[in-house]
Amino acid sequence: PAPAEEAPAAEKPAEQQPAAAPAAGAPKQQPQAQHAKESLISVNLGKLDALMAVVGEIVITESMVTASPDLKGLKLDNFTSASRQLRSLTDSLQDISMSLRMVPVSATFQKMKRIVRDMSKKLNRETVLELVGESTEVDKTIVDSISDPIMHIVRNSMDHGIEEHAEERVAAGKDPVGKIVLSARQTGGEVIIEVIDDGRGADDDAILNKALRQGLAQPGVEYSHKDILNFLLMPGFSTNTEVTEYSGRGVGMDVVKSNVENVGGSVTITSEKGKGMTTTLKIPLTMSILDGMEVAVGESIFTVPINYIRQIFKFSEQDIVHDAVHGEMLKLSDNYYPVIRAKDFYHLEQGVDRFEDGIVLWVESGENSYCLFVDELIGQQQVVVKPLPAYINDYGIKSYGIAGCTILGDGTISIILDVASIYAAAQN
């Protein structure tokens, strides 16, 4: 359970009986250690969840009061001043409540040391694990969810990445001892976790041949290095021909990808043959609150998480390229990206059709990047994520690109979009 600060005890009046002197030879008590021990209490995670739920309702209610349409056109100086102060206080309350759920990734990272040590002995591959950014904090629920994915990636680096023989590494100009770096750092509203090994890297030919045999790739199609690495994230894919203790079962990086996406994150892989491989996890700091861009499609309001948006712009029909396979494509930075119309994707009756009348959000999740066409932007807003009812989730709503919902300041319900799921559904 995450620790919470306890209010310091009030000082005793001076006239009360003084504390007894320490016995001769007794070790002196460390004041800082004593204070740290007294200032920590254990709190059940369920209570923190309940606290965050109440704080979320307070934030929503505050937005509904200050953004009430009944106040439009009225000159209310005192109310404006008080509402500004209320916003400041709710922001502080929200930040403090969120911090109570934050825990460092050090405990998860330390577990990987034993895995590397044990596999080094069993595989007879001398390897060291370097940990960077262990003090980086993430929401407790997210830390628990990414522990298994990180473990699987580290095992992959040991089993597939690090060379079998030290002589092979020396011949390639490397240190005979293999190295894996597990790092974490915070950038904005997300945490980036990387697993970097200095092993043999990905063998594009071996990956593509296996993908062809499994029917994941099409014969005669030319695949880029990036496309080939994406096969590693597909269900059932494994380059091992034999089942071992660590690999070959067909339960691989697709499970890692699924688990990370379940907490709103993404997975990307980069590799250079003979140099090593880097697997990057981008995960949100918390699943309770996010910065979102509110967009409108007809009378419907949607929220797109800010951390997925690369660029927002307008364009015309002349900029569109029609592809027989991918449909409408838009050229950006010398690459072509598919255009997904939110109106058509969700089968909405209202909404603009002409590109000149709408606006495009260039979004990216992991290796998937596309252009989302909507009617207009409403504005950026920090929103409280509300889960959908269980009976709705039973219909597999996530496969329709819906991650949850939120209540805006005017009481309107906005659907929070799952950028990765929209792309997958559109491809299917």
Radius of gyration of the CA atoms of the chain, in A: 26
52 and 174 inside one domain: no
pLDDT at position 423, please? 85
Domains contained in the chain, number:
3
408 and 312 inside one domain: yes
Of 101, 126, 154, at which residue does a domain stop? 101
335 and 262 inside one domain: no
Asked whether residue 14 is domain-assigned, the answer is no
CATH number of residue 78's parent domain: 1.10.287
pLDDT at position 323, please? 82
pLDDT in tens, 187-229: 877 899 999 999 999 989 989 998 888 888 888 888 888 888 9
- Residue 69's domain comprises 39-101
Of 224, 252, 284, at which residue does a domain stop? 284
132 and 50 inside one domain: no
Asked whether residue 97 is domain-assigned, the answer is yes
Asked whether residue 13 is domain-assigned, the answer is no
- Pick the closest to residue 419 from 268, 264, 313 (CA basis): 264
Of 269, 284, 299, at which residue does a domain stop? 284
118 and 257 inside one domain: yes
Asked whether residue 96 is domain-assigned, the answer is yes
pTM score:
0.71
Asked whether residue 125 is domain-assigned, the answer is yes
Task: Please answer whether residues 287 and 142 qualify as being in contact, where contact means their C-beta atoms are separated by less than 8 angstroms.
Answer: yes
Asked whether residue 17 is domain-assigned, the answer is no
Asked whether residue 114 is domain-assigned, the answer is yes
Count CB-CB contacts under 10 A for residue 159: 18
CATH number of residue 240's parent domain: 3.30.565.10
348 and 415 inside one domain: yes
276 and 336 inside one domain: no
Count CB-CB contacts under 10 A for residue 114: 10
* List of the chain residues with pLDDT < 70: 1-38, 238-251
159 and 207 inside one domain: yes
pLDDT at position 312, please? 94
Asked whether residue 113 is domain-assigned, the answer is yes
CATH number of residue 406's parent domain: 2.40.50.180
114 and 246 inside one domain: yes
298 and 412 inside one domain: yes
245 and 274 inside one domain: yes
251 and 360 inside one domain: no
